[in-house]
Amino acid sequence: MAKTETRSRLYWIRKAGASLMFLGFIPGAPGTVGSAATIAGIWYLSRHEQLSRFVSPQQPLSWWILSIALVGVSLFFSSHARETFGKEDPGPVVIDEVAGQFITFFMVPITWRTLLAGFFLFRFFDIIKPFPVNDMQQLDDNVGITMDDVLAGVYANLALLAVLACYQWMRGYL
Q: What is the pLDDT of residue 105?
A: 93
Global pTM reads 0.85
Distances in whole angstroms, Cα of residue 45 to Cα of each of 7, 37, 153: 34, 12, 19
Predicted pLDDT at 40: 94
Mean pLDDT score, 66-83: 86
> How far is it, in rounded angstroms, from Cα 168 to Cα 25?
40
pLDDT of residue 1: 47
pLDDT at 57 over 90: no
Provide the pLDDT confidence category of residue 168 given band limits of 50, 70 and 90: confident
Given a cut of 80, whether residue 70 has pLDDT beyond it is yes
> Are 18 and 81 in contact, with CB atoms under 8 Å apart?
yes
> Is the pLDDT score of 55 beyond 70?
no
For the cut 90, the answer to whether the pLDDT of residue 81 exceeds it is no
pLDDT (mean) for 25-29: 87
- The beta strand positions in 69-139, using DSSP E, are none
Name the more confident of 3 and 147. Answer: 147
Averaged pLDDT score across all residues of the chain: 84
Q: How far from 168 is each of 73, 108, 157, 163, CA to CA, in Å?
A: 35, 13, 16, 9
Separation between Cα atoms, residue 39 and residue 152, nearest integer Å: 16
